[in-house]
């Protein structure tokens, strides 16, 4: 008898406990929220990770070092959340890395030939960190600095505003650049990135975001069977050092034709000069659009998970990069390896080397003007 009473009491307690957990998690799911946790120190400054969660339980974790998206958990076709971006578990790994996992890129996304350009007849020399060329803002680009964070849950979803003041002459760039980037996790499962910048001297600016996505989940093999569509009739061929030649070539009849859905791996190893130069895809596509309205740049679908990602941007171009320089020796989150082509990037941007290419849309920013760009990564299932 005593035994029965004890087991009844136990099951009542257990039942109450289960109800309590459900109550807590249902409140957690019905409210969007932001939590903050320490992630170490860089340059003597504390680095924090902010976890933005929307009402559906989708979560983006973003750290102040590099404005880096550390994880992005979105549902698959069975409703199971999975992290779809590559990254590391420790700050030290991000500090050592040259892959730009999840980072904000600036002042200039992609390459500037020989690290040189002129504005108003004055030549500037930038840090070179990619052979003879300047890549992604230089040795200490925006991916390697600590940003100031201002979190908020007001508006269209939890958001994190990040600010950074880049000093005159940083990495060789003229002008003090005041940069503002806001990540919002909307209730439509979009990660929206709104950038703005102002300067006190004429300069060049081209900001972007460098997440490596794997819609099957980070660490779950390569991305070669993902189906890709890019809304671009033209792309920018490069020389062997990945500097655009200035030509904007039609994709028709080439392995760069993603105007209809094609597996990323369908043609990647074809005997093609451009694919050889890039070691795969590492090219800027010219988005079909007039003006700078927010418009669809690309769609990627992974049939195994059912996850679909759409990329919208106000920018004229998108760099499609297939993680050609990743290698199995990289130890990422949870000790998982990231072999070659286990993630892809879709970096919305102005075209590489624009400061030296008079026919490309200008990237010059002058005092009194405001640089602005918006890019949205939208997740759903099919």
Catalytic residue list: 210, 347
Residue 102 or 158: which CB sits closer to ligand BGC?
102
How would you classify the pairing of strands 227-230 and 81-83?
Answer: unpaired
Please give the residue ranges that form the binding site for ligand BGC (CB under 6 A).
99-100, 110, 242, 282, 319, 321, 325, 345, 347
Residue 186 or 319: which CB sits closer to ligand BGC?
319
Residue 99 or 173: which CB sits closer to ligand BGC?
99
Cα gap 111→143, rounded to integer Å: 15
CB 314 within 8 A of CB 374: yes
Least distance to ligand BGC, CB of residue 215, Å: 19
Least distance to ligand BGC, CB of residue 353, Å: 11
**Residue matched to tokens 């003006």:** 291
Cα gap 205→100, rounded to integer Å: 18
Least distance to ligand BGC, CB of residue 115, Å: 15
Residue 99 or 213: which CB sits closer to ligand BGC?
99
Q: What's the gap between Cα 93 and its chain centre?
A: 18
Least distance to ligand BGC, CB of residue 319, Å: 5
Cα gap 211→257, rounded to integer Å: 23
Least distance to ligand BGC, CB of residue 97, Å: 9
Residue 50 or 258: which CB sits closer to ligand BGC?
258
Half-sphere exposure of 187 (CA within 13 A, CB side): 10
As given in the structure block, the two tokens for residue 209 are 């975001």
DSSP letters for 231-273: --SEEE-B-TTS-B-S--EE-TTSTT--SS-EETTSSTTSS-H
Residue 76 or 143: which CB sits closer to ligand BGC?
143
Closest-CA residue to 292 (of 219, 206, 361, 203): 361
Closest-CA residue to 67 (of 108, 34, 102): 102
C-beta nearest to ligand BGC: residue = 321
Least distance to ligand BGC, CB of residue 77, Å: 30
Q: Cβ neighbours of residue 78 under 8 Å, at least 6 residues apart?
A: 306
Q: 328-344 burial by CB neighbour count: b if 16+ within 10 A, else e?
A: eebebbeeeebebbbbb
């Amino acid at each position: 008898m005593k035994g029965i009473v004890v087991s009844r009491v136990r099951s009542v307690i257990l039942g109450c406990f289960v109800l309590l957990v459900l109550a807590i998690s249902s409140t957690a799911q019905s409210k969007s929220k932001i939590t903050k946790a320490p992630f170490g120190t860089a340059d003597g400054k504390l680095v924090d990770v902010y976890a933005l969660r929307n009402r559906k339980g989708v979560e983006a974790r973003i750290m102040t070092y590099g404005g880096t998206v550390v994880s992005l958990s979105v549902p698959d076709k069975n409703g199971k959340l999975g992290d779809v971006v590559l990254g590391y578990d420790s700050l030290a790994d991000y500090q050592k890395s040259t892959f730009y996992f999840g980072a904000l890129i600036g002042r200039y996304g992609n390459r500037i030939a020989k690290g040189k350009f002129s504005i108003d007849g004055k030549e500037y020399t930038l840090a070179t960190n990619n052979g003879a060329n300047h890549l992604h803002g230089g040795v200490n680009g925006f991916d390697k600095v600590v940003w100031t964070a201002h979190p908020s849950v007001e508006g269209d979803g939890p958001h994190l505003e990040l600010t950074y003041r880049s000093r005159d002459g940083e990495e060789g760039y003229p002008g003090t650049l005041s940069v503002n980037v806001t990540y919002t996790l909307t209730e439509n499962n979009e990660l929206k990135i709104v950038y703005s910048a102002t300067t006190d001297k004429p300069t060049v600016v081209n900001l972007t975001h460098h997440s490596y996505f794997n819609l099957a989940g980070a660490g779950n093999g390569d991305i070669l069977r993902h189906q890709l569509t890019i809304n671009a009739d033209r792309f920018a061929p490069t020389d062997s050092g990945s500097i655009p030649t200035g030509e904007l070539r039609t994709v028709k009849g080439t392995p760069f034709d993603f105007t209809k859905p094609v597996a990323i791996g369908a043609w990647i190893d074809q005997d093609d000069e451009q694919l050889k130069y890039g070691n795969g895809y590492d090219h800027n596509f010219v988005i079909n659009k007039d003006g700078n309205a927010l418009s669809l740049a690309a769609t990627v679908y992974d049939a195994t998970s059912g996850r679909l990602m759409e990329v919208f941007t106000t920018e004229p171009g998108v760099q499609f990069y297939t993680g050609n320089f990743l290698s199995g020796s990289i130890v990422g989150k949870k000790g998982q390896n990231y072999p070659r082509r286990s993630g892809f990037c879709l970096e919305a941007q102005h075209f590489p080397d624009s400061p030296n290419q008079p026919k490309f849309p200008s990237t010059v920013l002058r005092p009194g003007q405001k640089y602005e760009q918006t890019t949205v990564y939208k997740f759903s299932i099919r």
